[in-house]
């Protein structure tokens, strides 16, 4: 008779389904941008990661009958005013909010757990905890443990950052919601009668008011850092004219630049000042004495590579520090 | 396991634990709530016909959210029951006492629902519905609710952005109506943090709503550019769904956090999956055509050109059956021959970029 007792290391019932992370099972083409070679040959050995989607479609008979509506000619009072739906919709909204809040509470609880996991991983007994939350093939292999620890920490930090980002957006939205004053208008939308170009310009200005303008910083050597609220910061060549003129604003100069001159986007081949570009993601406490931070701050009026008076301000109040502005006066 | 996955599962569990759901399970024998269920979801349509302007439509799915959760007889629409109880507070008690006798065990709770084709207000009374349509504030030649974000006067399509917290009743009624043609919609009333993009098309000399998609402005995942999409049955097969999908990607270009890549909220419904895969395939085919002379490509490169998420790109390539592998351990290759066969099979010229929107008319 076989004994039911067995070593824990031989226990196959304890599978990895309860683990939070499995870094062995990640797709390299998605996570590590592994190149996919191109071949001219045909093949029937199809690659499958997600599994081909062959779910049967639910059959829906499109049963539509066109009818002739006979509407009354003279109606004095609307039998369906908005107030008629108010009580029921308010009650249902409250119920739904309650459901969503319960879900939020559960998420906050999970975030708390993740925060404590992160703390444990930064303590002396992290190896033990790591094996409980992340799939580790060989617990005696220190290099694997170190790698998995780092990957787990990165993943937890990513989720915590995401949650922080959500919290900030939530606060902004709640502010907007509180400050909104409802006004119902019966008038036709004037945008229909405007030329499309004019409406586009109007929208552009609305966006600028909402998210702030595109910020351009002259880095010298004909290079300019462009920070777009919708895009990734880019370093562009060919914007040296911004600081050469003292009378015009940078935005005006950019607008007047000849369109024939193509803007060359530089990715990796940046020559000078290399350190300053790398420092985009560097923390202040990591800045050492031997690093060169050159914003070409040559004159009194030039700050961060542009005229201080011409630095655009945000609609919601971004301005230069008060002492800098006072000093200018 | 990420937090997002947990949220999705939680949503399902939430539906089960909802008191409304429990009440319905106990009340109906034939009409059971789906397991696992979402709140408001029924496994069969509970309304026989919906009148929407000049159309009489059979709903595809049930919608319990039109009815008051505690009213087990389902004789009245939710707002009628709530108003009745508000006027006569004792009515609720009387109803509770008689509920056991009046439990509606029929599959159909309501025979006819009349929905205003301009503002989506609903009633069970045809006369009221018709009278309302005449005086409806949204009954105009061109809609004025929300903000104009797309205006194509040649093909006569308008898209308007309607914010949930600015026009709550309109958006709530839109969600309720949309649920009749969507399987897994779960939010109908708490729509403050959603934006709705409604497509209007010309019919009988007037622009009327033909479909919509919603976008969660406070989505936990910043990359979600669409929460749900629905084209109303009378206006299907006009490629309006694809037009709205393309619009959602244009909109993502102006949404902080979605500039690089974005996509719809998962899981996709079977219909949603078909529509998206068809759209993604056509767009990606053009990118592959441009890159076919290279030695290799990466999923990130395709993402950069299209704005689709990496997962969506790989899913599409896999679904097109153009990724091949000699054996399980070897590297994946993209077969140009398979790609050409796919294009032939789908009658697509990959050298031409397929566009559903008129770029000149985008007013985001």
- Are B130 and A96 inside 8 Å of each other by CB? no
List chain A residues with CB under 8 Å of B334: 36-39
Residues with Cβ within 8 Å of residue B276, at least 6 apart in sequence: B245, B264, B268, B312
- Are A199 and B57 inside 8 Å of each other by CB? no
List chain B residues with CB under 8 Å of A32: none
Mean pLDDT rounded to a whole number for chain B: 86
- Are B323 and A45 inside 8 Å of each other by CB? no
Q: Which of B102, B250, B265, B301 is catalytic?
A: B265
pLDDT value of residue B21:
33
Place B24 in a pLDDT band, splitting at 50, 70 and 90: very low
- Are A96 and B189 inside 8 Å of each other by CB? yes
List chain A residues with CB under 8 Å of B253: 230
Task: Name the one residue in this structure whose structure tokens are 């703390």.
Answer: A119
Give 3-state DSSP helix, strand, coil % of chain B, rounded to 5: 40, 20, 40
Compute the nearest-CA separation of A2 from chain B (Å).
37
Instruction: Tell me, rounded to whole angstroms, the distance of Cα A307 from its chain centroid.
Output: 30
List chain B residues with CB under 8 Å of A82: 169
Of A284-293, A312-321, B20-29, B266-275, the range with the lowest mean pLDDT is B20-29
Compute the nearest-CA separation of A215 from chain B (Å).
15
- CA-based radius of gyration for chain B: 23
Q: Is A224 helix (H, G, I), strand (E, B) or coil?
A: strand
pLDDT value of residue A319:
63
Parallel, antiparallel, or unpaired for β B333-335 and A36-39?
Answer: parallel
Residue A41 has phi, psi (to 5 degrees) of -75, 150
B214: β partners: B196, B228
Plot region of A222 (φ>0 → left; ψ -120 to 50 → alpha; else → beta): left
Q: Which whole number is the average pLDDT over B278-306? A: 95
Plot region of A238 (φ>0 → left; ψ -120 to 50 → alpha; else → beta): left
pLDDT value of residue B311:
95
Q: Of B238, B184, B190, B250, which Cα lies nearest the Cα of B211?
A: B238
Q: Which is more confidently placed, B124 or B5?
A: B124
Token pair recorded at residue A3: 């004994």
- Are B54 and A53 inside 8 Å of each other by CB? no
Q: Is B247 helix (H, G, I), strand (E, B) or coil?
A: helix
List chain A residues with CB under 8 Å of B142: 188-189, 192
Burial B10-36 (b: 16+ CB within 10 A, else e): bbeebbbebebbebbeebbeebebbee
Place B231 in a pLDDT band, splitting at 50, 70 and 90: very high
The torsion defined by the Cα of B299, B3, B39 and A90, in degrees rounded to 10, comes to -110
* pLDDT cut 70: percent of chain B above it: 85
pLDDT value of residue A229:
83
Of A214-228, B60-74, B142-156, B316-330, the range with the lowest mean pLDDT is A214-228
Indicate if the pLDDT at residue B234 is higher than 90: yes
CA distance B53 to A67: 8
List chain A residues with CB under 8 Å of B123: 79-80
Compute the nearest-CA separation of B287 from chain A (Å).
14
Compute the nearest-CA separation of A93 from chain B (Å).
5
pLDDT value of residue B44:
87
- Are B51 and A182 inside 8 Å of each other by CB? no
Using CB atoms, pick whichever of B132, B299, B336 lies closest to residue A33: B299
- Are B132 and A50 inside 8 Å of each other by CB? no
Distance between first and last Cα of chain A: 95
CA distance A41 to A47: 15
Using CB atoms, pick whichever of A30, A97, A196 lies closest to residue B190: A97
Q: Structure pTM?
A: 0.80
Q: Which is more confidently placed, B243 or A281?
A: B243
Compute the nearest-CA separation of B101 from chain A (Å).
24
pLDDT value of residue B286:
96
**Residue B326 DSSP class:** S
Can you state the angle between helices B336-345 and B270-291, rounded to 10 degrees? 130
- Are B274 and A191 inside 8 Å of each other by CB? no
Residues with Cβ within 8 Å of residue B193, at least 6 apart in sequence: A173, B164, B165, B216, B217, B218
Residues with Cβ within 8 Å of residue A83, at least 6 apart in sequence: none
Q: Which parts of chain A sit beneath pLDDT 50?
A: 13-14, 241, 243-250, 253-254, 256-279, 297-299
- Are B259 and A182 inside 8 Å of each other by CB? no
Residues with Cβ within 8 Å of residue B241, at least 6 apart in sequence: B211, B229, B231, B275
Handedness of CA B280, B281, B282, B288 (dihedral sign): positive
pLDDT value of residue B300:
96
Using CB atoms, pick whichever of A61, A72, A85 lies closest to residue B169: A85
CA distance B167 to B174: 11
Indicate if B223 belongs to the active site: no
CA distance A232 to A212: 15
Using CA coordinates, name the residue in chain B closest to A20.
Answer: B1
């Amino acid at each position: 008779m076989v004994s039911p007792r067995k070593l824990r290391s031989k226990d196959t019932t304890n599978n990895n389904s309860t683990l939070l992370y499995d870094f062995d099972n990640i797709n390299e083409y998605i996570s590590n941008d592994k190149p996919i070679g191109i071949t001219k040959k045909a093949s029937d050995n199809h690659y499958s990661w997600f599994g081909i989607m062959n779910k049967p479609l639910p059959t829906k008979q499109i049963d539509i009958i066109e009818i002739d509506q006979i509407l009354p000619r003279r109606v004095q009072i609307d039998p369906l005013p908005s107030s008629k739906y108010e009580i029921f919709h308010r009650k249902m909204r409250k119920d739904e909010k309650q459901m969503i809040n319960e879900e939020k509470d559960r998420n906050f609880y999970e975030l708390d757990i993740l925060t404590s996991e992160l703390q444990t991983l930064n303590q002396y007994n992290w190896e033990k905890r790591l094996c409980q939350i992340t799939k580790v093939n060989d617990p005696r292999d220190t290099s694997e443990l170190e790698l998995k620890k780092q990957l787990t920490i990165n993943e937890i930090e990513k989720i915590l950052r995401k949650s922080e980002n959500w919290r900030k957006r939530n606060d902004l939205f709640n502010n907007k919601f509180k400050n909104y004053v409802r006004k119902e208008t019966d008038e036709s939308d004037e945008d229909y009668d405007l030329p499309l170009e004019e409406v586009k310009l109007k929208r552009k200005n609305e966006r600028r008011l909402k998210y702030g303008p595109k910020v351009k910083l002259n880095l010298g050597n004909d290079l300019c850092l462009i920070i777009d609220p919708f895009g990734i910061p880019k370093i562009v060549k060919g914007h040296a004219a911004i600081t050469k003129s003292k009378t015009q604003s940078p935005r005006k100069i950019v607008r007047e630049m000849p369109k024939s001159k193509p803007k060359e986007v530089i990715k990796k081949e940046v020559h000078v000042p290399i350190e300053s570009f790398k420092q985009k993601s560097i923390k202040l406490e990591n800045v050492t004495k031997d690093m060169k931070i050159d914003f070409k701050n040559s004159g009194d009026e030039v700050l961060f590579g542009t005229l201080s008076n011409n630095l655009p301000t945000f609609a919601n109040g971004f301005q230069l520090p008060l002492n800098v502005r006072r000093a200018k006066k | 396991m990420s937090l997002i996955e947990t949220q999705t599962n939680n949503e399902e569990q939430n539906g089960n634990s909802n008191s409304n759901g429990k009440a319905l399970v106990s009340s109906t024998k034939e009409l059971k709530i789906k397991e696992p269920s979402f709140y408001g979801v029924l496994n069969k349509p509970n309304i026989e016909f919906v009148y929407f302007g000049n159309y009489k439509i059979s709903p595809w799915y049930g919608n319990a959210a039109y009815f008051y959760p505690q009213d087990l007889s389902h004789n009245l629409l939710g707002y009628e029951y709530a108003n009745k109880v508000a006027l006569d507070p004792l009515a609720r008690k009387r109803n509770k006492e008689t509920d056991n006798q009046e439990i509606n065990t029929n599959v159909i709770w309501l025979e006819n629902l009349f929905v205003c084709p301009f503002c989506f207000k609903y009633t069970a009374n045809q006369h009221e519905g018709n009278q309302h349509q005449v005086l409806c504030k949204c009954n105009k030649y061109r809609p004025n609710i929300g903000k104009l974000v797309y205006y194509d006067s040649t093909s006569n399509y308008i898209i308007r952005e309607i914010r949930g917290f600015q026009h709550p009743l309109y958006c709530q009624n839109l969600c309720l109506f949309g649920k009749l043609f969507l399987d897994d919609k779960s939010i109908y009333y708490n729509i403050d943090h959603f934006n709705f993009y409604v497509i209007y098309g010309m019919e009988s000399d007037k622009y009327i709503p033909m479909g919509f998609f919603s976008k969660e402005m406070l989505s936990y995942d910043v990359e979600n550019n669409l929460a749900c999409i629905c084209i109303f049955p009378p206006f299907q097969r006009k490629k309006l769904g694809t037009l709205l999908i393309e619009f959602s990607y244009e909109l993502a270009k102006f949404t902080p956090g979605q500039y690089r890549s974005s996509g719809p909220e998962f899981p996709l419904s079977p219909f949603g999956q078909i529509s998206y895969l068809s759209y993604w395939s056509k767009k990606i085919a053009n990118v592959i055509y441009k890159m076919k002379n290279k030695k290799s490509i990466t999923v990130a490169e395709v993402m950069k050109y299209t704005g689709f998420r990496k997962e969506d790109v790989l899913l599409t390539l896999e679904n097109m059956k153009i990724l091949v592998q000699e054996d399980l351990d070897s590297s994946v290759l993209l077969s140009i021959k398979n790609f050409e066969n796919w294009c032939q099979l789908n009658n697509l010229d990959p050298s031409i970029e397929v566009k559903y929107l008129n770029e000149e008319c985008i007013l985001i």
